[in-house]
Amino acid sequence: MHFFLKMDYKFLCPSAFFCIICFFSAINGRPDYIYYPSRPADNGMLSYSFYDNSCPNLNMIVRWGFWAAYINDTRIAASLLRLHFHDCFVNGCDASILLDDTKDFKGEKNALPNRNSVRGFEVIESIKANVEKACPSIVSCADILVLVAREAVVTSGGPNWPIPLGRRDGITASEAAANQLPSPFEPLENITAKFVSKGLDINDMVVLSGGHTIGFAQCSTFKRRLFDYKGTGKPDPTLDASFLSNLQNFCPNIDGSNSKTTPLDSQSVCRFDNMYYKSLINNTGLLESDQALMRDSKTAALVKDYSEDPFLFSRDFAESMVKLANIGVLTGQTGQIRKKCASIN
């Protein structure tokens, strides 16, 4: 998943009716099975039953809070999934991305990969407020963010998986660290190295990139592929000709088109499925860093597997999400349980 990607989601649904249909089709399509990881979460301090006694209605509060946001804006699913990625990739899954700047530190919200790009903060804060009413000072913002990310995937038609809980919230944030998030302009080997540095592997990178099956991208994140690929003054030769023509018409080579947005997966805009990988096979991947997965034999083989087997993609995505949510977690007496996600207590 290429976290630097700017998705401002100004794309409008064709109609309010379409958005409602999208919502209810997703709800009706929620899987009644759960993918259980083949290996348990690698952290003995987290537990699947952590809040069973202290906040038994947590999952329902999170679910209804997410649904309330989703029915008004189906694009919020991709935003919240991305928010979770960006949080975990910067000093671990400690909800540091939710913190506002203070006199002691510059937070992550205004880092280059996040500025005017990441969204959904108000959704998390609203859910946190409702959780606080039911279970004061019990549930961390970090755990809420992990649960909401899963809800975003499941509601969009993707897999479900169990989540071990018990994370605590960080008490600082780092704009500098957030500026090192993977970029859609980076070579594949650089992106791979950044995943490996977080304890993830090449399989995790390819399958988590599948999160681009939902969401939108600004023209500025892929325009150089259309007009001046790697300084050649010509388009990326790997782009499908018809796809290229459509994108050039939508994103003309002028600064005024930079903030226009288009779906990352135009075949199934609000549906979490494996169409993202089919588009890579057909040379219609939107981002340079996504299409680059087809230029390496190892990653290309995984793309082919996921394009042909949606169940394999769902299973592996669920497993990698568990690994992602376990990066650098705070447990026990470290960190705190914030009362409001945007500020430390």
Active site residues: 86
* Two tokens, residue 250: 């939508």
- Is 273 annotated in some ligand binding site? yes
What pairs with residue 262 in β-bridges?
217
- Is 90 annotated in some ligand binding site? yes
The answer to whether residues 341 and 83 touch, using CB atoms and an 8 Å cutoff, is no
Around 87, how many Cα atoms within 13 Å sit in the side-chain half-sphere?
Answer: 34
- Is 265 annotated in some ligand binding site? yes
What pairs with residue 216 in β-bridges?
263
The distance in angstroms from the start CA to the end CA of the chain is 32
Distances (CA, A) of 54 to 101, 141, 287: 31, 15, 44
* Two tokens, residue 230: 């790697």
Report phi then psi at 168, rounded to 5: -120, 160
Instruction: Give 172-193 as a DSSP string.
Output: ---HHHHTTS--TTS-HHHHHH
- Is 96 annotated in some ligand binding site? yes
- Is 104 annotated in some ligand binding site? no
- Is 32 annotated in some ligand binding site? no
Burial class (CB in 10 A: 0-12, 13-18, 19+), 17: exposed
- Is 140 annotated in some ligand binding site? no
Binding site membership for substrate: which residues? 182
**Binding site as annotated, residues for Ca(2+):** 87, 90, 92, 94, 96, 108, 213, 265, 273
Residues annotated within the binding site for heme b are: 212
Annotated binding site: 87, 90, 92, 94, 96, 108, 182, 212-213, 265, 273
